[in-house]
Structure 1
Amino acid sequence: APPAVATPAPSPPAGPVPPATPGAAVFRPGQWQWPTQGQVVSRYAEGDKARQGIAIAGTAGQPVRAAAAGTVVYSGAGLVGYGELIIIKHDDEWLSAYGHNRRRLVAEGATVSAGQQIAELGRTGTSRDMLHFEIRRNGRPVDPLPLLPAR
């Protein structure tokens, strides 16, 4: 019998590679930045309305930084349970939220870069100095820890 011949796998069609969606690379695991220094004292719990993000303990006044570039879509204290809150829109899918600040340093409509200081850590609405940090995709909270760099 003649020897079996392996059939080569089909090649992908030739042609230009479609360009990446602007900003898409920011949202791979490890591409977000930590918003502040400190120990994670509360973790995300799927489906738990009280744990839709993480809490990072810190010292009053320490910098809170944008985890990724974007536009500030909310800067205020009108959402119950978040104290002084900043929400940044990164693209049509992704938002990040920073709650319990002592002082907000950016206004709605401001464009911020990744790592830019946006607030001072505080305790508005909590019993200790801490930052409440959320990442949301299509309006739904996701666990920020797999997206943040290991430390």
Structure 2
Amino acid sequence: MVVTLAAVLLFSGCNTPALYHDDIYNPPVYWGQHVVRPGETLYSIAWRYGRDYRELGSANGIHAPWTLKVGQVLRLDRRGTVTASATQSVSSRPAPRPTKPRVSAPRPTPTAATKPTVVKPPAKNTPPVKQSQTVARIDWHWPHVGTVLAGYSSSGKVNKGLDIAGQPGDAIKAAANGNVVYAGNGLLGYGNLIIVNHNEHFLSAYAHNRKILVREGEDVKAGQVIAELGSSGAERPMLHFEIRKNGNPVDPAHYLPPRQ
């Protein structure tokens, strides 16, 4: 069943006024389908439904570089897509013929001339590679210097990020090094939105911009100006900033440095 407009409005992740300010925390969506529209990326679609882009791509047989086509139908459940032709081709294959078991020749008893090679174990002083060492540390920075109007909250009055005050045209900066994976206004309630991919686990988002200054696919550096603050999709000029880990909103205050 295709996701209805009402479901899209409910799970878009922002408010009109913002759904990221809500009385009920919206869980990830694992039902229905999504038809890819012009301008959408796997990252923005996963963001809309509260999903990790890698998990959503895997469920639909999509892999890096996560390319989509307009009109492509994405399943939102967790099961992989199996086509009827693929199922038929598997079921129509003839059963393999039974094979006779092999009889191994007896191994010769090792002699002085045929002494087996001794493999030395690795040195004990070689430290194992920890999983945490395979992911580069992210050096987070504040995306704007304004006053925090509303902090992160996953209960009560839900806020999936930080609302930061500012004046129209103020510089919005990348919070860390990364790659722009979405730049547009296709997510209801976020206005002009930028999503930056920092590594395989973390994404950050910058909403309500007056003007977007970067393009999808562009690499950005921490502190680089990527947008102008605005009020698109909001009732007042501000920046709504989010950090998501494996598709889930997390409190940016736990990652950003203390204010000076």
Aligned to 1:125: 233
Using a 3 Å threshold, how does the CA distance of structure 1 residues 48 and 102 change in structure 2: closer, same or farther? farther
Partner SS state of residue 145, structure 1: helix
Number of positions where the alignment pairs a residue of Structure 1 with one of Structure 2: 134
Aligned to 1:106: 214
2:201 paired with 1:93: yes
Q: d(CA) in 1 for partners of 2:148 and 2:173?
A: 16
For 1:21, which of 111, 134, 150 is the aligned residue? 134
Percent identical residues? 51
One-letter code of the match for 1:21?
Answer: T
In structure 2, stretches of 5+ residues that fail to align are 1-123
Which of the pair has more CA radius of gyration? 2
Q: d(CA) in 1 for partners of 2:167 and 2:128?
A: 48
State the 1:126 CA deviation.
1.2
Q: d(CA) in 2 for partners of 1:47 and 1:110?
A: 35
After TM superposition, where is structure 1 displaced by more than 3 Å over at least 4 residues in a row? Answer: 47-50
Could you report, residue by residue, the CA deviation over 1:34-83 in whole angstroms, capped at 9, with x for unpaired residues? Answer: 00110000111115795110100001111101101111000000000100
State the 1:16 CA deviation.
4.0
2:154 paired with 1:41: no
- Looking at secondary structure, tell me which structure has more strand per residue: 1
Aligned to 1:4: none
Using a 3 Å threshold, how does the CA distance of structure 1 residues 50 and 108 change in structure 2: closer, same or farther? farther
Q: d(CA) in 1 for partners of 2:156 and 2:187?
A: 18
State the 1:127 CA deviation.
1.7
CA RMSD of superposed structures (Å): 1.7
Does 1 or 2 have the higher relative contact order (CA < 8 Å, sep 6+)?
1
In structure 1, stretches of 5+ residues that fail to align are 1-12
1:53-68 matches, within 5 Å, as 53-68=161-176
- Looking at secondary structure, tell me which structure has more helix per residue: 2
Q: d(CA) in 2 for partners of 1:92 and 1:22?
A: 8
